[in-house]
Amino acid sequence: MVNTKARASSVDAAEVERFSRMASGWWDARGPMAALHKLNPVRLAYIRDKATARFARDPKKLDCLKGLRMLDIGCGGGILSEPLARLGAQMVGADPAAENIAVAGAHAQENGVAVDYRATTAEDLAAAHERFDVVLAMEVVEHVADVGSFVATCASMVKPGGLMIAATLNRTLKSFALAIVGAEYVLRWLPRGTHQWDKFVTPNELELAFEHSGLQVTGERGVIYNPFADRWQLSSDMDVNYMLVASRSQGKEK
């Protein structure tokens, strides 16, 4: 088993502070998180399809994730945790920013959605021996202080036979042009300073982090924006946005 107690925190205090300042706008589909709201359908479908395939569920059922314990680490205001809970998952949404958790909890209560929100870190959850069928790190790894440490901590919480799914940004010239110059400065989809290009993670780097943490990468997909349909969709193009899924064998935990 991974000794998570000895591992330094992967939390980047500056990143936590940045997102704390935007906490009130999490559920405003036209506000600072508008890009994530547009991205939500494709990442939700990807998670649903990978989880139902792994655990032999029917993805067409409204409660297709029923009984699966899932962690949304870096959940922000809960815009992904809530729809997963509506599909039946036993959701734990964790974020180091108390302001984000307050917004998430209030929204869930107002809408009658059961999510266990916690203002905490991956390291604290792992140290408490929390375990999950699925661990999600969606649009998070590019904001942590140490990608390898963060992935190892998250991976330690994946049950035997379980999954970890991550979504992030590739470190390419194309991603600099589109995700930073285009999205933050030209189109204003995101507040300026949301991303730092040097913290973007290549698929190879993320795959190695998964493998070093005892997980096997089983799938990878790019995500691109279709301006004609005004929506995001899966693609073979992983130059900018992409998602990876990895599994733990049915044997003992690492």
Per-residue pLDDT reduced to its tens digit, 99-117: 999 999 999 999 999 999 9
Whether residue 65 contacts residue 136, with contact meaning beta carbons closer than 8 Å, is answered with no
pLDDT at 2 over 50: no
φ, ψ of residue 169 in degrees (nearest 5): -120, 135
Confidence at 189, pLDDT banded by 50, 70, 90: low
Contact residues for 181 (Cβ-Cβ < 8 A; gap 6+): none
Per-residue pLDDT reduced to its tens digit, 75-107: 999 999 999 999 999 999 999 999 999 999 999
Instruction: Tokens 């901590």: give the residue.
Output: 153
Cα–Cα distance between 32 and 85 in angstroms, integer?
24
**pLDDT for 156:** 97
**pLDDT for 9:** 75
End-to-end, the C-alpha distance of the chain in Å comes to 4
**Average pLDDT of the residues of the chain:** 90
